Amino acid sequence: MANSSDPAVSSSVMAARMRDQHRAISALTRSKILRSGELNLSMMEITEVAAKTLKVGRSSIWLYNKEKSKIVCQDLYRIAEGHGLHEQSIELYASDYPAYFEAISEARTIAAHDAHSHEATKEFSVGYLVPLGIQSMLDAPIFVSGQMVGVVCQEHIGQPRHWELDEEHFVGSIADMVAMALESSNRKLAQEQLEIRIGQIAALVEVSRSIISMLDIDSLLIQVIDTIGLVMNAEASSLLLIEEGPEGKQLRFRFSRGSASADLCHDTIKMGEGFAGWVALNGVPLIIDDAYTDCRFNPRFDKKTGFRTRSVITVPLRCKNNKILGVIQAVNKKSASSFNRDDLELFQTFASMVSVSLENAQLVADLRRSLEQERRLAVEKEKLGAFLPKVVVDEVSRSRETKLALGGKVVEATVLFSDIKGFTSLSELMKPEDVVSFLNDYMTAMSDIIDSEGGLVDKFIGDGIMALFLSNASDVDHALRAVRAAIAMQDAVGAAKEKWSSMHPSIVNLEVRIGINSGEMVAGNIGSQSRMEYTVIGDNVNVASRIESNGKEGRVIVSEATYRRVKDYGILATKLEAITVKNRRQPVRIYCIDGFRTLS
């Protein structure tokens, strides 16, 4: 029988051992679990592979806490009664084992052949090594992005064991596998957080489009309070506005959502009271991780409603002149223990949109009261024109002694629809404030062009525009003015892309569709006695909308009816394949406008 001291035997044993180590590392490298980001399962797989490969009684992974005052066991694999068991959450404090913590802080492998006498591990002897029968320890540091985050530990039970160099290298590779698992987990977490943030921003952009155009305050506030819970992922939300009370200014709950919202309806708080009152008084946003540890917290509403407040985020609603209108507040984040700085940035952006919408809605309400009570249409006409089409303002001026009437009349007109291709996807890549800034810039530029051609913006539809061109005092046909405006709009978009791309590089690929149709349509006040708008309706309006939705990006597409009106004015066009429009039996002939030709 060959002696184990025989060099040939030793070499053979080492070769077999290294083959086992190589197979183990290769298997871990290919492991789907390690690449999945499922950290707990990854740790369990690594410790089990390490223990079986090195034939040790215990294999474990330990990570530092933030302060590096302790290490916490992420997984410990051990053999008990012939079965492999996994344990977690054991903690070792630096204050209890200073020599060990000092040794691992040097970021080197600790090969304690006799753990009871080794300088770094002997302090474990009485309370840890002896009770568990551990004789030898082999620890290696774990590095992630150049920073040591913890150690892997192999513990041999029985006789003292001399760790070979290849075994030290193997444990270093095991530490690398742990690092890979941590990075996969971090990537998964980052991806999940990114998806949540994209969802929040998409919801914010979508809702903001509607609230910016809302002029009814109650409808606006309901939309706002519902959006807070959705965007902030909160258990409860509130919107409070400042009003004059018996003892001066106070905050009143206008709308709330959550299990205790019914008990808060129309309740009031003093300026400076609680988090909401403090923010309203100081104009400074707050993030509170634990409400009951903050001296500004007033538990009155928790006692009243039975609700338990934990984390709170509160921001002021501030109008253009820096006046505080009120506050919005979200309570108890569902997906985490507290709100963070990203939440605050998102919430402040939303608050800015709400403030603008509130200010606009309040201004419209004030104007309406002025029209009804004081009959001062001439004074308010210019302000009203910022919110309503000019024809409506003129009608209000003519009808100042009577109520505005619902109804309309048949007119010959041209209607233009425009829309930004893929804007929803683009907005998901942009910061909310950049989305709003871009939309305001874009809408202003397009509206100015429409106005310069004697048209009026009927409405903004998200990132789309509906514009109307009626006959006016000029001799220029409404269809020609609409086509000229559309060409100028496409030229303006092309010229402004470089400027807008500073908000996001993808804007350079932005394209706009424009569709135009002319014909008879009904124009007038549509809606109810309490809420109406001047617009046009009818089949020809629907045709214009369908032409736009079927149009080419970057081009102006017109119906045959529009083309017949403009072809003698030097307008060049290419006939396209007819399109089928809902509720019309005959296909609609369409043309692509190519530009102007010089008339002799």
The pLDDT of residue 203:
64
The pLDDT of residue 150:
93
Segment 253-271 mean pLDDT: 79
Residue 1 pLDDT class (50, 70, 90 cuts): very low
Q: Whose CA is closest to 49, among 37, 40, 59, 57?
A: 59
Residue 35 pLDDT class (50, 70, 90 cuts): confident
Residues in a beta bridge with 484: none
**Is residue 530's pLDDT more than 70?**
no
The DSSP code for 127 is I
Segment 525-537 mean pLDDT: 67
Q: Give 103 or 531, the one with higher predicted confidence.
A: 103
How far is C-alpha 237 from the chain's CA centre? 18
The pLDDT of residue 460:
86
For 174, the token pair is 């095991």
Q: Alpha-carbon distance 139 to 111, whole Å? A: 7
The pLDDT of residue 497:
83
The pLDDT of residue 469:
92
Residue 302 pLDDT class (50, 70, 90 cuts): confident
**Is residue 400's pLDDT more than 80?**
no
**Is residue 589's pLDDT more than 90?**
yes
Q: Give 26 or 195, the one with higher predicted confidence.
A: 26
The pLDDT of residue 233:
81
The pLDDT of residue 399:
45
**CA-CA distances (angstroms) from residue 403 to 368, 369, 383, 394?**
11, 12, 19, 14
Q: What is the mean pLDDT of the chain?
A: 83
The pLDDT of residue 392:
47
Q: Alpha-carbon distance 104 to 85, whole Å? A: 26
**Is residue 585's pLDDT more than 70?**
yes
**Is residue 272's pLDDT more than 80?**
yes
Q: Alpha-carbon distance 330 to 297, whole Å? A: 14
The pLDDT of residue 384:
43
Q: Give 4 or 239, the one with higher predicted confidence.
A: 239
Q: How many Cβ atoms are within 10 Å of 456's Cβ, its own excluded?
A: 17
pLDDT digits 0-9 by tens, 122-163:
999 988 899 999 999 999 999 988 889 999 999 999 889 999
Q: Dihedral of CA 258/262/264/265: which sign?
A: positive
pLDDT digits 0-9 by tens, 322-356:
889 899 888 998 877 888 888 888 888 778 877 77
- The radius of gyration of the chain's CA atoms, rounded to the nearest angstrom, is 36
The pLDDT of residue 374:
55
**Is residue 383's pLDDT more than 60?**
no
Q: Alpha-carbon distance 359 to 364, whole Å? A: 9
The pLDDT of residue 547:
93
pLDDT digits 0-9 by tens, 438-470:
888 899 999 999 999 988 888 888 889 999 998
**Is residue 4's pLDDT more than 70?**
no
For 1, the token pair is 């029988």
Share of the chain above pLDDT 90, in %: 38
Q: Give 356 or 294, the one with higher predicted confidence.
A: 294
The pLDDT of residue 212:
55
pLDDT digits 0-9 by tens, 185-197:
888 877 776 676 6
The DSSP code for 126 is I
**CA-CA distances (angstroms) from residue 48 to 61, 135, 164, 398?**
11, 20, 20, 86
Residue 532 pLDDT class (50, 70, 90 cuts): low
pLDDT digits 0-9 by tens, 201-228:
666 666 566 555 555 667 767 777 777 7
Q: Alpha-carbon distance 508 to 78, whole Å? A: 59
**Is residue 482's pLDDT more than 90?**
yes
The string over 142-180, giving b where at least 16 C-beta atoms fall within 10 Å of a residue's C-beta and e elsewhere, is bbbeeebbbbbbbbbbeeebebbeebeebbebbbbbbbb
